[in-house]
């Protein structure tokens, strides 16, 4: 029988006990119970920052981060041309329409505009060497996403951003628990963002969070997320209760996944080049540069073959510049590497990395089996 990819989330008695306790105490149905406040404090302590703020999703977190950095209509935000689509679309959602008292109804108004730069050739992460040339007087912020086990060169990004007075959103939705140049992922930028979506390393089905070093930026995000007394896109008490034991185990889980990644990479053919820069990454959807010529299969055929072997490989993201009108963005320079990522990135879903050495060796053998069949 062909094995199937492991389910996620993995059953955890500590999560079960935390949720059961929240149900028993009645805190799960409260507007202001103990768990959201406690989780925010624990997130801040884990990431060694003074402030953390939870919300309903990672996408909401990115928008709140941009609002906290005062991004508005007509402003430019630089990001990699290979990145998560929702972040790109969030920029178009900022001030896309104004209600004009002089003209009844809604009238079109400029949105914030994405400025796309290329990714690095070696790991398909935002290319910090392209950043400075993309900055104009209209640039208000940069979005940096750590993707598929790769890591953005945040010290170099921050040096350029500080030089030009530009804010930085560090999207660590795929990297909770990662170490980025000696600091926790999400703590280099002016605002860090996390996601607790259903497939994420820390999961509550939905949810997100923001990390801050600066009290004023934290307060602006908090104000944006509130309508009077209530937050309009909150994390629930029950979600927070489920997340707290996961956060306590995150360092151990990250080290476990890193060990499995090391074992897997030692067995792979050169036609699959990992995006991971180091074993300090968090390894959500472990990414590879797939070489169809060397492998002898198109990317689509490779993914289909691996799925048939019970291994959860998928194609990567769609390039943000592909199939879109140039009016939706400004391209700052050539996007050759981003186009390559669009065409050749493949990702391994992370649950198998939480298993034993034998599990990742089965993945390696499945890859070798498909590879041998083509050579």
Q: Find the CATH number of the domain harbouring 269.
A: 3.90.1150.10
pLDDT for the residue numbered 229: 84
Say if 149 falls within a structural domain: yes
Residue 142 within a domain: yes
Give domain status of residue 6, yes or no. no
Regarding whether 143 and 234 lie in a shared domain, the answer is: yes
Is residue 107 over pLDDT 50?
no
Examine the domain organization and report whether 210 and 108 are in the same domain: yes
Please tell me whether residues 161 and 297 are part of one structural domain: no
Does the pLDDT at position 76 exceed 80?
yes
* Domain-ending residue, one of 248, 275, 290: 248
pLDDT digits (tens, 9 = 90+) for 306-359: 999 999 999 999 999 999 999 999 999 999 999 999 999 999 999 999 999 999
Q: What is the pLDDT of residues 205-253, one digit of tens each?
A: 999 999 999 999 999 999 999 988 889 999 999 999 999 999 999 999 9
> How many domains does the chain contain in total?
2
CA dihedral in degrees (105, 108, 112, 113; nearest 10)?
160
Return mean pLDDT, the chain. 93
In a domain, 75, yes or no: yes
Q: Model confidence over 169-195: pLDDT tens digits?
A: 999 999 999 999 999 999 999 999 999
The DSSP call for residue 354 is G
20 pLDDT above the threshold of 60: yes
Tell me the per-residue pLDDT of 279-316, one tens digit each, with 9 for 90 and over.
678 999 999 999 999 999 999 999 999 999 999 999 99
pLDDT, residue 281, reads 86
Could you tell me the CATH number of the domain that includes residue 240?
3.40.640.10
Q: Indicate whether 76 and 188 sit together in one domain.
A: yes
Q: Which stretches does DSSP call E strand in the chain?
A: 51-55, 76-80, 97-99, 106-108, 113-117, 139-145, 167-171, 179-180, 183-184, 191-195, 208-212, 226-227, 230-231, 272-274, 286-290, 313-315, 330-331, 345-348
pLDDT at 38: 98
Q: What sign does the CA torsion over 96, 101, 106, 109 have?
A: negative
Phi and psi at residue 218, to the nearest 5°: -60, -45
What angle do the packed helices 250-265 and 237-248 form, to 10 degrees? 60
Q: Tell me how crowded residue 268 is: count the other CB atoms within 10 A of its CB.
A: 16
Q: Among residues 197, 227, 248, which one ends one of the domains?
A: 248
Domain span including residue 42:
13-248
Same domain, yes or no, for 29 and 87?
yes
**Residue 97 banded pLDDT, cuts 50, 70, 90:** very low
Answer whether residue 281 is part of any domain.
yes
Q: What is the mean pLDDT of residues 95-119?
A: 65
């Amino acid at each position: 029988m062909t094995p199937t990819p492991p389910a996620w989330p993995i059953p955890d008695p500590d999560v079960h006990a935390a949720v059961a306790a929240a149900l028993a105490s009645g805190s799960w149905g409260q507007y202001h119970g103990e768990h959201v406040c406690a989780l925010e404090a624990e997130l801040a302590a884990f990431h060694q920052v003074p402030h953390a703020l939870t919300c309903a999703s990672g996408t909401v977190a990115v928008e709140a981060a941009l609002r906290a950095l005062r991004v508005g209509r007509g402003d430019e935000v630089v990001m990699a041309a290979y990145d998560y689509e929702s972040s790109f679309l969030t920029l178009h959602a900022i001030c896309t329409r104004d209600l004009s008292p002089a003209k009844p109804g809604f009238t079109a108004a400029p949105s914030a505009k994405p400025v796309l730069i290329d990714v690095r050739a070696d790991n398909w992460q935002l290319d910090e060497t392209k950043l400075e040339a993309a900055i104009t007087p209209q640039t208000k912020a940069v979005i940096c996403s750590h993707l598929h086990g790769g890591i953005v060169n945040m010290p170099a990004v921050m040096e350029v951003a500080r030089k030009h007075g530009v804010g930085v959103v560090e999207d660590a939705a795929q990297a909770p628990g990662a170490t980025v140049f000696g600091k926790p992922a999400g703590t280099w930028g002016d605002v860090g963002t996390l996601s607790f979506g259903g497939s994420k390393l820390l999961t509550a089905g939905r949810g997100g969070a923001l990390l801050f070093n600066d009290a004023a930026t934290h307060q602006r995000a908090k104000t944006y997320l509130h309508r009077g007394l209530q937050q309009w896109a909150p994390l629930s008490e029950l979600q927070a209760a489920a997340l707290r034991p996961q956060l306590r185990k995150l360092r151990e889980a990250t080290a476990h996944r890193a060990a499995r990644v090391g074992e897997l990479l030692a067995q792979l053919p050169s036609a699959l080049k990992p995006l991971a820069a180091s074993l300090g990454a968090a390894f959500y959807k472990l990414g590879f540069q797939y070489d169809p010529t060397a492998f002898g299969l198109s990317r689509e055929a490779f993914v289909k073959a691996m799925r048939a072997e019970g291994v959860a490989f998928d194609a990567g993201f769609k390039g943000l510049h592909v199939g879109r009108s140039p009016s939706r963005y400004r391209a700052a320079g050539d996007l050759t590497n981003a186009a390559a990522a669009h065409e050749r990135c493949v990702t391994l879903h992370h649950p198998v990395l939480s298993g034993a050495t034998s599990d990742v060796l089965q993945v390696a053998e499945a890859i070798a089996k498909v590879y041998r069949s083509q050579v």
